[in-house]
Structure 1
Amino acid sequence: MNAKIVLGLLLLAVFACQTPEKETTTEFTIENEKFELDNGLDVILHVDRSDPVVAVALTAHVGSAREVTGRTGFAHLFEHLLFLESENLGKGGLDKMSARIGGSGANGSTSRDRTNYFQTVPKDALEKMIWAEADKLGWFINTVTEHVLAKEKQVVKNEKRQSYDNRPYGHTSYVIDKNLYPEDHPYNWQVIGSLDDLQRATLDDVKQFFNRWYVPNNTTLVISGDFDVEQAKSWVKKYFDEIPRGEAVEPLPKRPGRIDEMVKLYHEDNFARLPELTLAWPTVEMYHPDSYPLTVLTRYLSDGKKAPFYQVLVEEQQLTSDVSMYNRESELAGQTHLSVRAFADTDLDTVMAAIETAFAKFEAEGISESDLDRIKAGQETRFYNGLSSVLGKGFQLAQYNIFTDDPGFIEDDIESILAVSTEDVMRVYEQYIKGKNFVATSFVPKGKLELALEGSSQAEVVEEEIIIGAEETFDPSIAATYEPTPSTFDRSQEPPYGDSPEVSTPEVWEEELKNGLEVYGIENNEVPLVQFTLVIDGGQLLESFDKLGVANLLANMMTKGTQNKTPLELEEAIEQLGASINVSAEKENITIRGNTLAKNYRQTIDLLEEILLEPRWDESEFTLAVQQVTSQLQQQQANPNAIAAIAYDRLIYGNDNVRAKNILGTMGTVHAITIADLRQYYEQYLSPSVARMHIVGDISQADAIRSLQDLADKWAAKPVAIPDAEIPDQPEASQVYFYDVPDAKQSVLRVGYPALAATDSSYYEATVMNYILGGGGFASQLTQQLREGKGYTYGIRSGFSGTDAVGPFTISSGVRSNVTLESLELIKEILENYGTGYTEKDLETTKGFLIKSNARAFETARAKLGMLEDISAYDWEYDYVKNRESIVRNMTTDRIRTLVQEYLDPDKMIWLVVGDANTQLDRLQALGFGDPVLINNTVPLE
């Protein structure tokens, strides 16, 4: 079946009424071909020759919904296992091959209803990927051993600790789903499963689950990118045809959640500093006709200044700085969530009363046609953003095929989005929300139970006890013994590369406007979008210590209205274009980021000009901004990852260096800042003389420059002196520092020292040297030993992060608490042996990845913007990638070892641990760097 998905004319017809300038547009199409093998495998092919890359995605129609009570987490466990080994790929499996062929890093994800495995590779590696994906499906399960399973259980359990157990509000979904769905409902449990269920899983359990669900007739293969269709078909048939069809898979019946009476539950959260109220209603499954107006409803109620929840809870009653509401759609059922993280010490009964007031406001006022059009315009832009890469297109085709049996369902989907009426929005509100039972969860700080909703009962939350030596031992290197799975040909031989792709860097244009603003651009018409960034040097570097946080507050205020538009009017003007304009402050700059439909680019730039040149300085918005920052600072104080980032900066740069300070400021400085301070910063430092504009997308150089002429005329240049960077000293001797977070389920690690600037002649060489250490994902020693060898962590990485100033070399990870010392000892051992143990094979892997990955280096608009930002910031050549390629080709093991000696001395580093001092602090003396220093009182988080 050939399906041609025609979107441009359909979208234009509906959006014309809300587009400020009616324009003609070219037809935007996604062509695909679908066929089915005799064994039931669905194959979808989509050709896109915009870059010499191919995305390959294998998606099994199995998620946690196919599990049973007491045996949860299996689908997600397989997301991990399938990367490790197969009969013909051998140990390391797809991860190891990915490093050699320049892949994006093989990855996967699991939902309630499907598990996918995906990667983008240079087009010459397509046959290798098809061979590897077939090997995972047909020649994998025999390689799983008891030891491999034991190790991967620990990895998954670490993921659960990191993503749920060791972060604020991490158990919210668990509590809601347990009460929104009956015990026998497949959505009653979490996708990641429970620690106990994972621990009980046997090898036989795992094999039975795989053999039942990971079969061709329950799987979709999508190939998207630059390839020959007939050749791809031939390879797919060669490698997949002989995998046997599995038992028939019957679809599960749709089954909505059910709440017979109101459910109110509370949990005292060890990591929360603010009370959070979440309400959840059972609704409808994905692609149900009512799912579309429900999505509009949630966005209208909560997104932006026009939203009833924003007006009542944020502006009028000032209970919070943000309200979120979203519709979670799954295959069998849906649920709508409303979440409010209130300001400190706010009674959640007060929040609940405000929510009821906001609902009453909505009932009285409804939603207007213009608001509906505004929301649809944003949906159009998000739709195109999702198709900006070959992998994004592949994901969408697979999603439609699995859940509707039609990759061409995209037309129906778009029609359903655009057909939503204001009457539909009110109807679904009445049908699913108004007066209906819901689950309400009150997550409050420990010792603040009085803040929970009145009448709440304690939620059942399983929290892990930290016990040293509690985990089992295993040796995942032990090979499995099995009878090889037969094949009609020799699959042990990895297929050869195809013709090498021609890699060319995008064509860059550059101009300087008469006010000194430098403009860089890349024209790309793959999708009808334009993205831009305006980077203004300075940021936090220009702040005084008694006014820390000015740059961040200024960035916050820049989109809160203009002289001619109220905050609400500005927001609506942006959203009516289907655009976004965001401003953020960082250590070294303030950046304005924009994303818009190409047809609305000029109007979006007009708004950028207004934002930049005509600030409003709204007093009420300033008050709200200060409240928001105060809330953020309070939340950081209990989040182990935020604590680690802040404390590490302090240790790297020292308290007297502005780079050590929190970009948000401190409680003291934020409340001392006035609008006059923001005005002064704005008038002194925001100048085109220290700014650079970057534009990527469906627009020519001439049109882009024309659009900026008003900005050139009106934005006057002024001299701005950026302070010279203070270069921190490397420690003369290593020291362990410990920040205590009582009862932390993981220890967050930061190991490093002040190293190099990005402009240093050795910077990229050092990056090459680091690839096998911790920069290469599963190809790195840190990952292979701490995750794959020991199961200590879900992830670990290392890297250099300089700019035009010296930045740190950092090793970062989260490890389970009871192996904190063991993890640090292993990191230390790896560092000590890295130079002497570096081999020619390591260098070959590094060269293979860094050279071949250039084929996909600039595929997306975001990647192209990053390229322009680097060129403009560091005065690099347009084809700097080619120079880096030369560095890689000429690299030797001797040079690597020299770099290791120069930049990786474990005896001259900061070793920071954020974790549970009661069980871990004293143990760390054994690391050999003296007594660990407890820094809770000497390194303030603010």
Structure 2
Amino acid sequence: MRTSFKFYFLAFLVSLFTGNALAQQTAEATGFEVDFETFTLDNGLKVIFHVDRSDPVVAVALTSHVGSAREKEGRTGFAHLFEHLLFLESENLGKGGLDKLSARIGGSGANGSTSRDRTNYFQTVPNDALEKMIWAEADKLGYFINTVTEPVLAKEKQVVKNEKRQAVDNRPYGHTQYVIDKNLYPQGHPYNWQVIGSLEDLQNATLADVKEFFNRWYVPNNVVLTIAGDFDTDQAKEWVEKYFGEIERGPEVKDLDKRPANLEQTKKLYFEDNFARLPELTMAWPSVPSYDKDSYALDVLANYLAEGKNAPFYKELVANKKLTPNVRMYNYNSELAGQFMLQVRAYDGTDLDKVQSAIEETFRKFEKVGISEKDLKRIKAGQETSFYNSLSSVLGKGFQLAQYEIFANDPDMINKEIEYILAVTPQDVMRVYKKYIQNKPFVATSFVPKGQVELALEGSKPAEVEEEKIVMGAEQEFDLEEEVTYQRTPSSFDRTVEPPYGDSPQVKVPEIWEEKLEKGLEIYGITNSEVPLVQFMLEIKGGMLLEDPSKIGVSNLLANLLTKGTKNRTPQELEEAIELLGANIRVDATDEKMIISGSTLAKNFDETMDLVREILLEPRWDEEEFSLVKQQVISRIQQEKASPNNIASDEFKKLIYGKDHILSHNNLGTEESVAQISLEDLKNYYNNNLSPDLASFLIVGDIDQEAAIAEVEKLTEDWSVKNVIFEDLAEVTPPAESQVYFYDVPGAKQSVLHIGYPALAETDEDFFPATVMNYRLGGGSFASQLTQELREGKGYTYGIRSGFDGSTITGPFLISSGVRSNITFEAVDLIKEILEDYPENFNEQDLEVTKGFMIKSNARKFETLGSKLQMLREISNFNKPKDYALQQEETVRNITVPEIKALAQKYVNPNKMYYLIVGDAATQLERLEELGFGKSILLNEEME
């Protein structure tokens, strides 16, 4: 990750006028409370502990009260740059820093995030590594900055710039937030610039700038340390004092004053987007900072107006006027100010003035009727479920506790929040609408495809957006091999000595129960009562595998239509029934399955299952909804044509499976195939292919075996078995020799790489050993050679990975990455070299790191409900034994270097792979012939 994403916590941001009585009432009402303790070191470091004995893991998070809002104009992006730098090296961990340590101790991967107002660093580890983590986090804070040198800074600038290209410059509508914030907040306001900063500011950052920023903000009195999980608090306190206690306090850090946007007049701007295929309108009104008393009602307002089929915007813009497939609305709160956002990506060729007119019409209707108590009740039920989901892991609890400590000065808000959510009234919702939205000025951006300026709002002015030019050899050179010396920071003890492990954690494989019903449906379950929730999944074999190749997209359309009402409920009534239970139910089609999945409050499981039965067995077959679903899917297909990543995925499937194989298709279909599908096609698919003997039901959470089985038995009573016939699939084979394929996206700021071949099914006996082999190649994130060479060594990419992806059917080995355009050849050539050398250079140290991670990480393998559900999928889909995780652990323990080398020689031959590049052909295509694979094939030209 290591990207600048924002934790909106939309349902959770709260005001400050509560006491312990309210928290106690909330705990008594829900039966759920998070216990914690806090203390502060003499140097100002605030520490929060939360003990959870359910799994032998512990989450450690260091949160600094510094984000982009603390930066200076002309030096933007520093907070996010530090999110990257702090993982690279420190005085006592050495090069590789926490990334290298994380791989050895079986951590979830050292990670971080940056927002406008804070930066955090976090990971979950087996609890025997807690002292190591405290030692390492302290080294970041007190023993890091001397290790940042000119070459290190130059390399990491390139990584961050690659991230910006990937997240902003090389994707449709990527500049929207930049244009909004630049015009919503005046120059000089700390929210006027983006968290990730500008390419120019990043390039101009000096080593002195960087050190000044660190020494000002990364001080104990500006940081919160949270530790949550299974640990001894007395021992942990000793370790925290030992490793953090002698780090010097920094200058006083004062809270910044609230600075609302105070927009004086409406601003309309437009931008011709190189990647957009559809027009998009975004509107932003000034709202309130985090924890303002009005934030709850604004959250409800956004949810009510835009979420689901009962939403006024859905009824008017989607169902009635058919202007867009959906409307997005949310209340984006930050520490100093807030903004209320509305976003509509319209259908192809739609004039955005029509969209704005429909928005204003909807607002006028809302002003007359407001929100009903019933609608408010269903929204609150969903917020309650979301709240518990956010606290379902020890890391989630740690995040929330730090958030409340920093921004509310009260970590006990974690036990008070539900009460504030539930306290919102219909009158509150209308009041905040009138106060912040009705007839108030706003910023509106019209992002339109190239050459379609006429679709922008009337009266819009061109937005100022700086686009990077692709220039060969433009990046700064650096030499990370250069020997660097620096003065070490003094300490009262030898910090170079890594602390020992604690007692080995006892891996807790959850107890699994199973049942096979009379009609062949299999049930797998795990009972777990940590949070009052249930998650479930009904998987039915089929999906795209059972489609007519001339009408691809039927199963996806069916999945979409099944949630659009039932025999006796309109789409609006069905959605309302689900939401009143605090549940969610979704239906998805994949290449090989139809899946009905969901979650609900445990107390409402039986009623939720009644609705699942209706969805599955009593479809509505609504002609109007079918027409709407088709239009929405076609719009999504059009959008995907604009995304280099989606293009790469689609074109790679064609190479892997060949054009005549059913799995070579995108299961959405094409604009042409979807257009010709009829409602009768969906009925035929439904009547002939959905059978209980092809299904499995997976369930985890706060429910016992008998109750779960009883509900699933009710589901199958009226579900008849069908004779479903699967066509034999053609065998897929690797290419005899490598070939380069290029898909031209003119002006692309990055090249998207997909390199691989058809390799293994997950049921193949070599699949897991090959996965072990791949860990050091590209599966181990920052522990992998691909990441170390291309990101850490060269600064070519923000991220790269490799892996095997199969099912009961052969799937690909795939290396995927986005690299900056002007080094496309160099990146691909380096990947080829790494693949060639890997079977020879894999050594005992590589094996030790691989074993350390893959064995120790088992301690955190089953912590969340989602991870337990995934465990049941592995058992159900691939007929694995219930203790497969322990068996795989033995495989890892016993594997040898010669075995790894043999697997590498067999499965990562760079001379028998497809090399697919999606990028700017004018500047990059020709040089790829230097790879030695002959003339590159230009796919766009072939298709035309």
What CA distance in whole angstroms lies between the structure 2 residues aligned with 1:468 and 1:502?
54
8 Å Cα contact 1:302-1:323 kept in structure 2: yes
Deviation at 1:505, TM superposition (A): 1.1
Q: Structure 2 residue aligned with 1:465, among 447, 464, 469?
A: 469
**Higher mean C-alpha deviation, range 924-933 or range 98-107:** 924-933
> Are 1:580 and 2:545 an aligned pair?
no
Query: What is the letter of the counterpart of residue 352 of structure 2?
Result: L
SS of the counterpart of 2:90? coil
Residue aligning to 2:891: 887
Contact 2:802 2:814 in 1 (8 A): yes
Q: Is 1:795 matched up with 2:799? A: yes
Q: CA RMSD in A?
A: 1.2
Q: Which moved more, 1:291-300 or 1:723-732?
A: 723-732
Q: Which residue, out of 667, 690, 694, partners 2:671?
A: 667
Structure 1, residues 85-110: CA drift from partner, whole Å, max 9, x if none? 00000000000000000000000000
CA contact (8 A) 1:142 1:480 kept: no
Separation of aligned partners in 2, 1:834 and 1:9: 60
Partner of 1:546 in structure 2? 550
1:156 matched to 2:160? The reply is: yes
Question: Residue 109 of structure 1 contacts residue 115 of structure 1 at CA under 8 Å; is this kept in 2?
Answer: yes
1:647-705 alpha-carbon deviations (Å, 9 max, x no partner): 01011111100101011011111011111110110010011010000000000001111
- Deviation at 1:4? 9.0
CA distance in 2, matches of 1:785, 1:5: 56
SS in 1 for 2:720: coil
User: Which residue, out of 909, 919, 929, partners 1:925?
Assistant: 929
Alignment CA distance shift 1:750-1:498 (3 Å): same
In the TM superposition, residue 255 of structure 1 has moved relative to its aligned partner by: 0.6
Secondary structure of 2:35 counterpart: strand
Counterpart amino acid of residue 261 in structure 1: Q
Q: Secondary structure at the match of 1:821?
A: helix
Letter in 1 for 2:134: I
Residues 326-377 of structure 1: CA distance to partner in whole angstroms, max 9, x if unpaired?
0000000000110000000000011111111111111122100010111000
Q: Which residue number corresponds to residue 628 of structure 2?
A: 624
Distance in 1, matches of 2:295 and 2:483, equals: 49
Out of 665, 685, 689, the residue aligned to residue 693 of structure 2 is 689
When residues 724 and 868 of structure 1 are mapped into structure 2, their CA distance, relative to the original with a 3 A threshold, is: farther
Q: Which runs of no fewer than 5 residues in structure 1 stay unpaired?
A: 14-24
Separation in 2, partners of 1:113, 1:528: 32
Question: 1:810 is matched with which residue: 807, 814, 818?
Answer: 814
In 2, the alpha carbon distance for the partners of 1:189 and 1:130 equals 34
Task: Tell me what 2:194 maps to.
Answer: 190
Specify which of 361, 364, 383 is matched with residue 365 of structure 2. 361
2:280 is aligned with 1:264:
no
User: Which position in structure 1 is the counterpart of 2:26?
Assistant: 10
Q: In 2, Cα distance between the equivalents of 1:382 and 1:836?
A: 49
With over 3 angstroms needed to count, the CA separation of the structure-2 counterparts of 1:588 and 1:5, relative to structure 1, is farther
Could you say which residue in structure 2 is the equivalent of 1:17? none
d(CA) in 1 for partners of 2:749, 2:396: 35
Q: Partners in 2 of 1:725 and 1:126 — Cα distance? A: 50
Matches of 1:724 and 1:218, distance apart in 2:
63
Matched residue type, 1:116: N
Q: 1:375 aligns with which of 379, 387, 393?
A: 379
- 1:852 and 1:350 map into 2 onto residues whose CA distance is 57
Asked whether the 8 Å contact 1:5–1:29 carries over to 2, the reply is no
Look up the SS of the partner of 2:880 in the other structure. Answer: coil
Task: Evaluate the alpha carbon distance shift between residue 5 and residue 216 of structure 1 in structure 2; reply closer, same or farther with a 3 A threshold.
Answer: farther
**CA contact under 8 A between 2:258 and 2:335: conserved in structure 1?**
yes
Per the alignment, residue 94 of structure 2 pairs with: 90
**Alignment gaps of 5+ in structure 2:** 1-18
Q: Work out whether 1:525 is the aligned partner of 2:541.
A: no
Report the counterpart of residue 170 of structure 2 in structure 1.
166
CA displacement at 1:504 relative to structure 2 = 2.6
Q: Which residue of 2 aligns with 1:560?
A: 564
Query: What is the deviation of 1:721?
Result: 2.5
CA distance in 1, matches of 2:576, 2:680: 27
Show CA shifts across 1:478-519 (max 9, x none). Answer: 343111100000100000000000113111100011221100
In 2 relative to 1, CA 799–243 (structure 1 residues): closer, same or farther, beyond 3 Å?
A: same
1:313 corresponding residue in structure 2: 317
8 Å contact kept, 2:23–2:416: no
The answer on whether the counterparts of 1:6 and 1:30 sit within 8 Å (CA) in structure 2 is: no
Equivalent residue letter for 1:546: S
1:924/1:932 contact within 8 Å kept: yes
1:18 corresponds to which residue? Answer: none
Alpha-carbon deviation of 1:709?
A: 2.4
Distance in structure 2 (CA, Å) of the matches to 1:434 and 1:511? 56
The answer as to whether partners of 1:689 and 1:720 remain within 8 angstroms in 2 is no
Query: What percentage of residue pairs aligned between the two structures are identical?
Result: 65
1:75-114 pair list within 5 angstroms: 75-114=79-118
**TM-score relative to the length of structure 1:** 0.97
Partner of 2:395: 391
Q: Is residue 143–residue 489 contact of structure 2 (8 Å, CA) maintained in 1?
A: yes
Give the aligned residue type for 1:239.
Y
Q: In structure 2, what is the Cα distance between the partners aligned to 1:759 and 1:546?
A: 30
2:842 maps to 1:838: yes
Could you tell me how far apart the structure 1 residues matched to 2:727 and 2:134 are?
53
User: Is the contact between residue 523 and residue 696 of structure 1 (CA under 8 Å) also seen in structure 2?
Assistant: yes
1:445-456 equivalent positions in 2, closer than 5 A? 445-456=449-460
The residue that corresponds to 1:400 in the other structure is 404
Query: CA 1:539/1:834 → structure 2, altered by over 3 Å: closer, same or farther?
Result: same
Is residue 113–residue 119 contact of structure 2 (8 Å, CA) maintained in 1? yes
Contact 1:552/1:585, CA 8 A, preserved across alignment: yes
- The total of aligned residue pairs comes to 926
Contact 2:27 2:33 in 1 (8 A): no
Give the deviation of 1:8 after TM superposition.
8.8
Task: Give the aligned partner of residue 38 of structure 1.
Answer: 42
1:906 aligns with 2:910: yes
Residue type of the alignment partner of 2:511: E
SS of the aligned residue for 2:508 comes to: coil
Task: Answer whether contact 2:279 2:346 (CA < 8 A) is retained.
Answer: yes
**Within the alignment, does 1:67 sit opposite 2:71 as a pair?**
yes
Q: Deviations over 1:117-139 (max 9, x none)?
A: 00000000000000000000000
Which letter maps to 1:430?
A: K
- Aligned counterpart, 2:7: none
Match of 1:347 in 2: 351
Residues 1:602 and 2:606 are matched in the alignment: yes
Distance in 2, Cα, partners of 1:363 & 1:4? 37
Which of 201, 204, 228 lines up with 2:205 in the alignment? 201
The structure 1 residue matched to 2:438, chosen from 434, 438, 442, is 434
Matched, 1:242 2:246: yes
- The reply on whether 1:220 has 2:224 as its aligned counterpart is yes
Equivalent-residue separation in structure 1 for 2:139 and 2:102 (angstroms): 15
Aligned-residue offset at 1:927:
1.1
Deviation at 1:142, TM superposition (A): 0.2
Write the letter of the residue equivalent to 2:330: Y
Q: CA deviation at 1:71?
A: 0.3
SS at structure 2 position matched to 1:474: coil
Secondary structure of 2:812's aligned partner? strand
Q: CA deviation at 1:718?
A: 1.8
Q: Which amino acid aligns with 2:332?
A: R
1:608-644 Cα deviation digits (max 9, x unpaired) = 0111100001111101100001101111111100100
**Does the Cα contact within 8 Å between 1:740 and 1:916 map onto a contact in 2?**
yes
- Note closer, same or farther for the CA distance 1:842–1:790 as it changes in structure 2 (3 Å cut): same
Q: Does 1:720 align with 2:724?
A: yes
- TM-score normalized by the length of structure 2: 0.97
Superposed CA offset, 1:512-538 (max 9, x none) = 112211000000000000000000000
Deviations 1:371-390 (A, max 9, x none): 01110000000000001100
Deviation per CA, 1:51-107: give whole Å up to 9, x if none. Answer: 000000000000000001100000000000000000000000000000000000000
The AA in structure 1 aligned to 2:480 is: P
Q: 1:5 to 1:586 in 2, by over 3 A?
A: farther
Matched residue, 2:12 = none
| Shift in CA distance, 939/878, structure 1 to aligned 2, threshold 3 Å | farther
Structure 2 partner of 1:128: 132
Match of 2:637 in 1: 633
Corresponding residue to 1:642 among 646, 649, 655: 646
| Contact residue 831 and residue 905 of structure 1 kept, 8 A | yes
What SS does the corresponding residue of 2:371 show, helix, strand or coil?
coil
Q: Name which of 872, 878, 881 aligns with 1:874.
A: 878
